[in-house]
Amino acid sequence: MKRNGFVFYNSYWSVASDLDDAQFKEFVSAMCRYYFDGEETTFTDPLIEKLFLLVKPNIDTNIKKQEAGAKGGRPPKNSTNGFETEKPMVLSDGFNDDKPLVSTDKDKDKDVDVDTDIDILSAVPAEIKTALTEYQDWRLSKGKGYASKNAVQRAVNRLQTLAPDNYQEQIEIIYQALDGGYYRFVPLVDNAVANSKRQSDRYSHADEFARGGC
């Protein structure tokens, strides 16, 4: 069977372009002789021999697909005169740079633990967002950060229940929880203001409830 051509990937060129003239000629000639004439090259340069061994499986794949197409089997997708345009097979040697290393998820806006911090805080009222972001950062440092938009919304609802439409008081409640090391919000127990200095006995009577988390 006459072979019309094989895929010369960008990764091949990335390597070949750094070779000197003699090495480049030996590398490309070995690929062409192997594909078009079925000849194995006896290499004079060990480096070129190793490079050829890395690309050889891709050439073999090109040959097998074209032979299968000639026999009536499924031909390569979008193939023209033997030059494939579909994504090639993945090789363990890392020579394939055309396929993403990580698959993408088109539906990441659900209430699951893959939401980013920015995503899950997007609906927080602007008046309390800075304070709640600091609180979320602290919870994350303890391994108990809010993991979803629903969890954040429950926290916002809790603040609204404790201090309806009073954002200043909600901020003070957030910093009260942050100062006291609480995992849930509780009513203000004194006249503390946001960012006040920690006092170890300020919230002692709320500890049993507040440290339980939510």
C-alpha to C-alpha distance for 109 and 114, rounded to whole angstroms: 9
pLDDT category of residue 7 using cuts at 50, 70 and 90? confident
Q: Which of 96, 76, 99 is nearest to 86 (CA)?
A: 76
pLDDT category of residue 117 using cuts at 50, 70 and 90? low
C-alpha to C-alpha distance for 122 and 80, rounded to whole angstroms: 49
| 61 contacts: CB under 8 Å, gap ≥ 6 | 88, 89
Q: Report the length, in residues, of the chain.
A: 214
Q: How far is CA 106 from CA 99, 109, 122, 164, in A?
A: 17, 9, 19, 37
CB 180 within 8 A of CB 140: no
Structure tokens at 212: 């339980």
Residue-level pLDDT at 74: 55
Q: How far is CA 152 from CA 32, 107, 115, 166, in A?
A: 61, 20, 11, 18
Locate tokens 């000849």: which residue? Answer: 39
Q: Which of 60, 59, 25 is nearest to 45 (CA)?
A: 25
Residue-level pLDDT at 110: 42
Locate tokens 């891709």: which residue? Answer: 58
Neighbours of 34 (CB within 10 A): 19
Q: How far is CA 132 from CA 120, 123, 126, 177, 197, in A?
A: 11, 12, 10, 10, 18
Give the start-to-end residue ranges of the domains of the chain: 1-101, 117-210
Bridge partners (DSSP) of residue 80 are 83
CB 153 within 8 A of CB 122: no
Q: DSSP state, 112?
A: S
Task: Look at residue 137 and tell me whether its pLDDT is greater than 80.
Answer: yes
pLDDT category of residue 190 using cuts at 50, 70 and 90? low
pLDDT category of residue 143 using cuts at 50, 70 and 90? confident
Q: What is the pTM of this model?
A: 0.39
Q: How far is CA 82 from CA 14, 15, 46, 59, 64, in A?
A: 23, 23, 30, 12, 11
What pLDDT, in 10s, does the model give residues 153-175?
999 999 999 999 999 999 999 99
Average pLDDT for 117-143: 86
Phi, psi of 14 (to 5 degrees): -60, -35
Which of these ranges, 135-144, 148-157, 189-198, has the smallest mean pLDDT?
Answer: 189-198
What pLDDT, in 10s, does the model give residues 23-72?
999 999 999 999 888 889 899 899 999 999 988 998 888 888 877 776 65
